[in-house]
């Protein structure tokens, strides 16, 4: 993430390929973070000159970063018109959630089957942090704090940590990331109507009790509520 103290200098025209790649990585992470957090709004035009001013990175690495974000479907390439932040799309979120639930449930079943004492300790620790963040979010207005998003990611990752399948975990993590900006928007909009600490607490208890069917059912309902809140947000 960039701040005033971290601004990079514009690359020298004679900069090496490696230097440009490093700057492209920095730009990719910075712009992606701002899209996820809602700093760069859905539909916002991403003009190179404007981005140079914001991120203090030259045009070549910025264009490469935007191409990568386009491949992630977080940015839309508009031909000669440049790039813009991908708009919110309820159909896409529904589809992402369908895939995410299927993968998550498969990973959960394996994790509950394979998890030992270390896995249980990881779930307990992550659930403790999650409960604190959920309760701190009660009554909160405005964007979802990064600390909540980090705790949420760590909590759900702890439940599947003993899955044992690298491909399942990679796919699950990728879908989790693609859902992030939708999730942040929905939680920010509808946290007042949800007891998130209860939902997460029920998931943790069911997982530690090795009730695989219940964990899978609770997970589907938990993610489904986020889609419902997001739908309400779009209607309003």
Contact present, 183 and 226 (Cβ < 8 Å): yes
pLDDT digits (tens, 9 = 90+) for 41-77: 999 999 999 999 999 999 999 999 999 999 988 999 8
Query: Measuring CA to CA, how many Å separate 61 from each of 10, 25, 27, 37, 108?
Result: 10, 8, 7, 22, 39
The helix/strand/coil state of 83 is strand
Residues of the chain where predicted confidence (pLDDT) is lower than 50: 1-17
User: Which is it for the CA torsion 98, 100, 103, 106, positive or negative?
Assistant: negative
Instruction: Give the separation between CA 143 and CA 131, rounded to whole angstroms.
Output: 19
pTM of the predicted model, to two decimals?
A: 0.82
Structural domains in the chain plus CATH codes: 4-85 (1.10.10.10), 90-235 (1.20.120.530)
The β-bridge partners of 83 are 77
Which tokens hold the place of 221?
A: 């309902």
Tens digit of pLDDT for each residue in 184-194?
888 887 665 67
- Residues 126-146 pLDDT 10s: 999 999 999 988 876 678 889
């Amino acid at each position: 993430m960039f701040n005033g103290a971290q601004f990079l200098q514009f690359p020298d025209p004679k900069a090496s390929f490696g230097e440009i790649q490093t700057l492209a990585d920095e730009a990719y992470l910075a712009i992606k973070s701002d899209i996820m957090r809602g700093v760069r709004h859905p539909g916002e035009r991403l003009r190179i000159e404007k981005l140079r001013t914001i991120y203090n990175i030259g045009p070549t690495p910025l264009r490469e970063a935007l191409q990568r974000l386009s491949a992630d479907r977080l940015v839309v390439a508009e031909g000669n018109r440049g790039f813009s932040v991908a708009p919110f799309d309820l159909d896409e979120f529904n589809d992402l959630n369908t895939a995410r639930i299927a993968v998550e449930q498969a990973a959960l079943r394996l994790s509950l089957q394979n998890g030992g004492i270390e896995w249980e300790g990881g779930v307990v620790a992550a659930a403790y942090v999650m409960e604190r963040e959920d309760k701190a979010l009660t009554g909160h207005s405005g964007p979802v704090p990064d600390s909540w998003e980090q705790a949420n990611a760590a909590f759900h990752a702890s439940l599947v940590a003993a899955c044992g399948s690298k491909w399942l975990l990679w796919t699950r993590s990728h879908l989790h990331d693609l859902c992030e900006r939708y999730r942040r928007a929905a939680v920010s909009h509808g946290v007042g109507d949800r007891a998130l600490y209860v939902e997460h607490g029920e998931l943790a208890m069911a997982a530690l009790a090795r009730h695989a069917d219940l964990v899978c059912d609770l997970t589907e309902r938990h993610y489904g509520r986020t889609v419902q809140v997001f739908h309400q947000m779009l209607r309003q």
